[in-house]
Amino acid sequence: MRAWSTAERSREAGRRSSSKHDDGALLKRSSSKKLAPATPIIPFRESKLTRILAESLTGGSFCIMLACIIANDALLGQTEGTLGYASDARRIKQVVRRNKRLERAEKVQREVRLARPCRPCPR
């Protein structure tokens, strides 16, 4: 395992911070009741996590998000940020929709059943 230089650590911390900021901004936009006219589109492509969660956050499926915190004075700022993030995620309201692919598959299966009479399978 190679030791990271200070510059590499700094760049990695910046990427993580930017990603957390993008995720938080997405949750804030998703949890607000009405999107501002200047931001009608929710930016799912801004980070890997939001791309992974895009279907869950738009109502295609159920999503459970866990917020892990530690009761330690030294980590108070991170705990506060995590609770804010969880609060924004909690305000997202989902309306689960039926998957259109499943509807089409069921329609095709129904048409196949109606097109041919049912016969017992030969043994």
**pLDDT surpassing 50 at residue 1:** no
CA distance 110 to 77: 57
pLDDT tens column, 2-37: 566 777 766 665 655 555 555 566 666 665 555 445
- Tell me, yes or no, whether 16 lies in a domain: yes
Q: What pLDDT was estimated at residue 35?
A: 47
30 within some domain: yes
| pLDDT of 14 | 60
Look up residue 85 and give its two tokens: 């993030």
How many domains does the chain divide into? 1
* pLDDT greater than 80 at residue 117: no
CATH code, domain with 29: 1.20.58.1980
Q: What pLDDT, on the 0 to 100 scale, is given for residue 106?
A: 83
With left for phi above 0 and alpha for psi between -120 and 50, is residue 36 left, alpha or beta?
A: beta
In this structure, is the dihedral angle defined by the CA atoms of residues 113, 116, 118 and 119, taken in order, positive or negative?
negative
Whether the predicted pLDDT of 114 surpasses 50: yes
Query: Which of 14-28, 69-83, 88-102 is predicted most confidently?
Result: 69-83
- pTM exceeding the 0.85 threshold for the entire prediction: no
The reply to whether 104 falls in a domain is no
For 106, the enclosing helix (H) or strand (E) is helix 100-115
In a domain, 47, yes or no: yes
Q: Which domain holds residue 30?
A: 6-97
pLDDT tens digits for range 37-47: 554 556 666 66
Q: Which residues of 73-99 are buried (b: 16+ CB within 10 A; e: fewer)?
A: eeeeeebeebeebeebbeebeeeeeee
